[in-house]
Structure 1
Amino acid sequence: MLKYRRILLKLSGESLAGDDGYGINAAMLDRYAEEIREARDMGAEIALVIGGGNIFRGVSEAAANMDRVQADYMGMLATVINALAFQDALERKGIYTRLQTAIKMEQMAEPFIRRRAIRHLEKGRVVIFGAGTGNPYFTTDTAASLRAIEIEADVIIKGTRVDGVYDSDPEKNPHAEFFPKISYLDVIRKNLRVMDMTAITLCQENVLPIVVMNMNEKGNFTRLLRGEKVGSLVQADGA
């Protein structure tokens, strides 16, 4: 019995780069694809949103003199490159997938259609959402929250390289306080970098829980789905 049946997994673009720092690391891609295959085989319905920071970050120094809207559209295209790479990795493991994008790219992806996305999930396909929301000034965190709400996901799982939510960066501060459970309001009050504020507010208004966990520790993903205590849970006060 799965604790969460329909999930949206949010990964950063940087996570695909691994130790390379940029681009797509084939070993990391394969590892994540294997974790998703195991979860899908357990009966989970899985949707994915992947960032594009490993290829292009719209607010980076490289884009400092660029028009923000133009830079954000470039970032959206970077997410599609990652989505295509992930789709290939999943299909090489025998997993049926569909890529849906917020910007029309009929030669390589379906346009995002909510009912079609839900039908794909019901049929056991992994659905990858690319190009963010299709609008500048919105992050892939916000896109993940929006898509999760639209497909009626049970949870957003944010895969990171740390064990959950801390009051400061645990990679820089060995005394950082870990929060196994925390409310949306406390995330906002403490200005914790779980997801951006727009994404957190969307989840709060729609009572959608968020789990932040270490995706780089093998087996964490499936352990979480089975109901084991993994990572940090962000939910409403008193839930």
Structure 2
Amino acid sequence: MSRQAQNEKKQRDILSFIYNYLEAKNYSPSIREIQAGLLIKSPATVHKHLNELVKKGFLAKDQGEDNSLRRKSRNVTVTASGASFLGRGLNRNHIPLLTEEITSPVIELGDKSGRTYFPIPPNLDRTDPLFMVALADDAMLDAHLLKDDLVIVRKQENFKDGDIVLVLGPQNLLTCRRYRYKSEKVHLVAENPTANGYYLEEIPPILGKVLSVYRIL
């Protein structure tokens, strides 16, 4: 077997190991765990193959991490391309990060090649229709939601007073507001003095309820 073929086999083995680990534990393994699980001689070899898998688009990592899988930060996942390479579908432990422009409340959450997928936090229901998007502004600054934060959203149509919701604003900007229901009227309230709220007939499409936030430091 040629050196190239050996490397490709080892990368497939590592990708499959990560896929199965995510399926079982809902978070990704450390380099040491991959090394031990596949009997690889050194962490540096694992590191090299991980970088190649990222370059090929088969793995996605938190951009705030260094070039390794660190034991405490386990934010790596198999992309749709990686799952396809293994001949398997994305497992139910992943949330799609939607980077394409959203122009209507109808959002397609099915597997798409090239999308990035993140592990679902263990406190969330993996059967819910979840997705992630980056916020376009600081309209909910006082609720500690910042521009470019990645928020985890559950698609739903009914909301409670006090929920933070994802809104499709003017020019298709993705922004958040506090859902307020009083005297049978809905208000979407900003929590930043420089941002506007929405009232009555001005209510824009609501895409879902914000459940969590993921921030790259």
Asked whether the two chains share a fold, i.e. TM above 0.5, the reply is: no
Structure with higher strand content: 2
Q: Greater RCO between the two (CA within 8 Å, min separation 6)?
A: 1
Structure with higher helix content: 1
